[in-house]
Chains A and B, each alone.
Chain A
Amino acid sequence: MKSIVLYLHAHQPLRIKPYSVFQAGTDHIYFNDETPDTDTNNRFIIDKVAEKSYLPTNRVLIDLLLKHPEFKLSLSITGTLIDQLEMWRPDVLQSFKDLIATGKVEVVAETYHHSLAFFYSRAEFVKQVAKHTEKIRNLFGITPTSFRNTELSYNNDLAYWADEAGYKAIITEGWDPILGWRSPNFVYKPSYTHNIKLLMKNYKLSDDIAFRFSNQGWSEWPLTTEKFTQWVHAAGHGGDIVNLFMDYETFGEHQWADTGVFDFLHAFPNEWLKDPNHGFKTITEASETYESKDYIDVPQTITWADTERDLTAWLGNDMQVDAITSLYALEKPILESNDEVLIEDWRRLQTSDHVYYMCTKWFSDGDVHAYFSPYDSPYNAFMYFMNAYRDLTARLLEKGIAL
């Protein structure tokens, strides 16, 4: 039996409004840009992505789940997205609940705030994971058994932590320098762990959908379900699983509806399941069903981003490092404040997207479309972030807490 492990990740940050130093110390709300039709207006973005992606995707998925008993998937949804859906789009949240109520959808654990806390404060990281798990339990009535870290960032330490924490599986990128001659189409075990299993993304096949689907310059365009089924079948040859990991927003937002991506999603499982030896598994199921084939050793940190597959899109320049280390340096006084609003604002600023917007990797080439940012430039992103940071420090000082 060859199984597809389909995993979709849903996340939206709370973007900082163009926040001036003159607001620092007076305006303590950083995420409430209500200017119509602007990309820092979080409600506007949520509405847009809900209509373009989440709702139509979930309509297709619920149909598949009800129609095909064999169809299953895993998903993760960040706390920052859930918060926003609760505020503005409960109908979208309900559509996720409907999927999960079928009993065939696994929800994957992660940090509530889509943060890089693991690399800066283990204590803070653990709290954010616990907060996310609690939210998932309250909302969907299930407790996650698999783990993904922000941007599929991963190393041996993370696997060790997840193993100790009792997770059955963890996922990351199937990056060639790590795999070497090995194939991503098997279950593995992380080095130095006892029970946990590791699933690694088949990025070639995942990216055929996530990045290349609508690219008319691609020699394989258009991607048909027949063709893709053949590829997945061939890739799984001799393998047990094919891990198709991608953003939820692939459907409808990165690849627009008029590219036919929803039709593709709707038709593909049917095509795949025509072969009785083909199936679907959730992440945890796959880790329990298949034997692990080898140990995977990842001393350095890898992610699923860019051609480098590392953290340089978030921590690649001086501004990014300056911003994130300044923020984490506030951990002690912030927690000491016992002020829930203040603590939550600090955590919302930890969302990795904020430092991602400061990335200068592609900026000089004028290729500003290579990354999505609501700001004029990485420098503006840094400026607004640091102004919000200043306000945090001012709020602490006003409370009589030393920095």
Chain B
Amino acid sequence: MKVLMLGWELPPHHVGGMGVACYQMCKELSYSGVDIEFILPFTAKFDIDFMKVTPAHDQTAEEFMISGGVYDAEWFTKKKSKKLTIGQLDLRQQHDRYAHNVAKLAESREFDIIHAHDWLTFRAGMLAKQITGKPLIVHVHATQYDQSAGGYGNPLAREIEHQAFMMADQIFAVSQYTKDTIAREYGIPSDKIHVVHNSMEISDDLDESANLHRYLEIMKSNGYKVVVNIGRMTIQKGLTHLLESAQKVVEKNPKVLFLIAGGGEQQEELIRMAAYYKISSNVIFESWVSGKKWRDSFRIGDVFVMPSVSEPFGLTALEAVGFGTPVIVSKQSGVGEVLQNCFKVDFWDTNQMADMILSITEHDSLAHSMWLNSYHEYRNQSWAKSARKMTDHYNYAAGISS
């Protein structure tokens, strides 16, 4: 089974969960005998031996990232020094060029299936299908509906999504929640949509070294508790609701701190909002970090809150559990389908969210029971099951009986 895999990013050159999911998914698929060529829109060095990574065209990851990465909005919030200069491509041009080059490349390749991840690769996938006649599977990690928090989203991207959903032989959705979204919001028959849950490679992070959040360490040893969120600061992620809850939490218990890490177009709004609620001293904003700093942000938390308005999956919740932190997720999140031992709350119910935060931060018995049981779930999940599902559908689409 040969698969032409179309993706927009791979770690370490990634800004979202999609890159991580693609990497881990392909690794597992390759272990189960799938021969993958992964087409990226840029060249970079990867420590990857389980598949062939091919650039669609010749540009460095850095050059490419200036165009905005996966998210259009990034482009508008870049610092002055990263402004586009004449001759550089914006995201739409990147998108068009990728589609064109993939189509050309597809002509010269032998493969059984085209597997494309999210709207930026969908046009390339459709062109490749038109040229080669091979079956197209589109994999949905997030839709415009999610990214605009239940709105219409970018009309161009929405149009491409809709066309691709119609043209695809099969659709993989990262959760039942996403499958329902595609069927409901895009009018796609649900029998061609298959749920393939995301997973998280188990990390045996036995890092006992001192946490780099020294300030938070000091506060914790003085009886403070820390609530963590890590992710993009954008409307989809529901952080305004978390701040609204934070205000209610701090009113009851001033010894609760909120670490909000990441970046995005909503950052300034959130900082202003914290000030408006007069909780600036309880809310710590942190920019994108990586490596140990990033892991330590998970580890320092007494509870991880993912208040997303619409979250197709939400890998960070699983990561948090892996780093030893119990989680609260919104009911509008796919990860709740694989993680039972957590609090689930409607993103808009900031009273209940505050209630849950107060309970976990006050009662170690709750925090510990919840985390321990969720850690068992974390240890038991794996990509293997999802990979089996995908290969079955590959075989079906390619007309091979397994």
Contact = CB atoms under 8 A, between A and B. Distances in A.
Decide whether A and B assemble into one complex: yes
Contacts of B373: 360, 363-364
B221 interface: no
Interface string B40-55: 0000000000000000
A387 interface: yes
A318 interface: yes
B355 interface: yes
B248 interface: yes
A211 B83 CA distance: 70
Interface stretch (B19-27, B138-146, B279-287, B357-365): B357-365
Contact of A379 (B248, B366, B376): B366
Contacts of A323: 365
Contacts of B351: 20, 22
B369 A319 contact: yes
Given A20-B352, A21-B354, A387-B355, A360 B366 contact: no
Interface in A295-320: 317-319
Contacts, number: 74
Nearest to B337: A366
A360 B373 CA distance: 8
B356 A364 contact: no
Contacts of B356: 379, 383
A382 interface: yes
B247 to A, nearest CB: 12
A84 interface: no
A340 interface: no
B197 interface: no
A376 interface: yes
Contact of A22 (B343, B355, B365, B377): B355
B366 A377 contact: no
B101 interface: no
B343 A380 contact: yes
Given A21-B354, A383-B355, A387-B355, A363 B340 contact: yes
B30 interface: no
A377 B343 contact: yes
Contacts of B370: 379
B344 interface: yes
Contacts of A291: none
A246 interface: no
Contact of B365 (A322, A363, A368, A380): A322
B344 A377 contact: yes
Given A318-B368, A318-B369, A382-B363, A363 B341 contact: yes
A20 B245 CA distance: 13
A47 B354 CA distance: 34
A230 B370 CA distance: 48
Contacts of B344: 376-377
A321 interface: yes
A363 B370 CA distance: 11
B249 to A, nearest CB: 9
B252 interface: yes
A366 B376 CA distance: 13
Contact of A386 (B248, B359, B368): B359
Interface residues of B, number: 25
Contacts of B368: 318
Given A20-B352, A382-B359, A383-B356, A366 B340 contact: yes
A383 B366 contact: yes
Contact of B341 (A22, A318, A360): A360
Interface in A333-364: 360, 363-364
Contacts of B355: 20-22, 383, 387
A317 B342 CA distance: 15
Interface string A5-20: 0000000000000101
B175 to A, nearest CB: 15
Contact of A322 (B341, B354, B363): B363
A386 B364 CA distance: 12
Given A20-B352, A20-B355, A364-B377, A317 B341 contact: no
A378 B370 CA distance: 9
B359 A318 contact: no
A321 B344 CA distance: 23
Contacts of A377: 340-344
Contacts of A318: 364-366, 368-369
A319 B365 contact: yes
Nearest to B326: A379
B42 to A, nearest CB: 41
A319 to B, nearest CB: 5
B341 A364 contact: yes
A376 B358 CA distance: 18
Nearest to B331: A376
A378 B363 CA distance: 14
A366 B337 CA distance: 10
A333 B359 CA distance: 24
Contacts of A379: 341-343, 356, 359, 366, 369-370
Contacts of A322: 363, 365-366
Interface string A100-129: 000000000000000000000000000000
From B252, B340, B342, residue with most partner A Cβ within 10 Å? B340
A321 B363 CA distance: 12
A377 B356 CA distance: 12
A363 B372 CA distance: 12
A387 B344 CA distance: 18
Nearest to A368: B340
A1 B340 CA distance: 53
17 contacts: A22-B248, A22-B354, A318-B369, A319-B365, A322-B366, A360-B373, A363-B340, A364-B373, A364-B377, A377-B342, A377-B343, A377-B344, A379-B342, A379-B356, A379-B370, A383-B366, A386-B366
For the complex of A and B, 8 pairs with smallest distance between CB atoms: A322-B365, A318-B365, A383-B359, A319-B365, A20-B355, A317-B369, A319-B369, A318-B369
Given A364-B376, A386-B366, A387-B355, 11 more contacts: A18-B352, A318-B364, A318-B366, A318-B368, A318-B369, A319-B369, A364-B341, A379-B342, A379-B369, A380-B343, A383-B356
Interface of B: 248, 252, 340-344, 351-352, 354-356, 358-359, 362-366, 368-370, 373, 376-377
